[in-house]
Amino acid sequence: QVQLQQSGAELVKPGSSVKISCKASGYTFTSYDMHWIKQQPGNGLEWIGWIYPGNGNTKYNQKFNGKATLTADKSSSTAYMQLSSLTSEDSAVYFCARATRRTGFDYWGQGVMVTVSS
């Protein structure tokens, strides 16, 4: 069965970076897009971007250009998102989600809570 296992919660300082992971299993990692989504209470859900692990192609929401960097390691079937220059506005739960072009997001990871605090 398809599973997306994300890394654990992070407490990070303002101005620093954090890299969170999403390990895929139960399907061919290189055949599906992997998207990343931000969820904040009161701010709803925002799409950050996607990566196609098959060739490393990426597309970002303009709002997150320079903030998020998406990568994928085919050997371990793991997608990563690095967030840089963190501020309190980046405190949120971050999800990875598998998608097909035709039907959108089907499976989601359990989410990673990132807290930015000094």
**Where along the sequence are the contacts to another protein (CB under 8 A)?**
4, 35, 44-47, 59, 61-63, 95, 97, 99, 102-111
Provide the minimum distance between the beta carbon of 54 and another protein in the complex, in angstroms, as a whole number. 18
Provide the minimum distance between the beta carbon of 32 and another protein in the complex, in angstroms, as a whole number. 14
For tokens 């890394």, name the residue.
Answer: 7
Provide the minimum distance between the beta carbon of 9 and another protein in the complex, in angstroms, as a whole number. 12
Q: How far apart are CA 24 and CA 32, in angstroms?
A: 11
Nearer to another protein among residue 35 and residue 72 (C-beta): 35
Provide the minimum distance between the beta carbon of 35 and another protein in the complex, in angstroms, as a whole number. 8
Nearer to another protein among residue 41 and residue 75 (C-beta): 41
Q: How far apart are CA 97 and CA 84, in angstroms?
A: 21
Nearer to another protein among residue 10 and residue 15 (C-beta): 10
**Burial code of 17-29, b = ≥16 C-beta within 10 A, e = fewer?**
ebebbbbbeeeeb
Nearer to another protein among residue 53 and residue 109 (C-beta): 109
The single-letter DSSP state of residue 101 is T
For tokens 């009161």, name the residue.
Answer: 42
Please state whether 104 falls in left (phi above 0), alpha (psi between -120 and 50) or beta: left
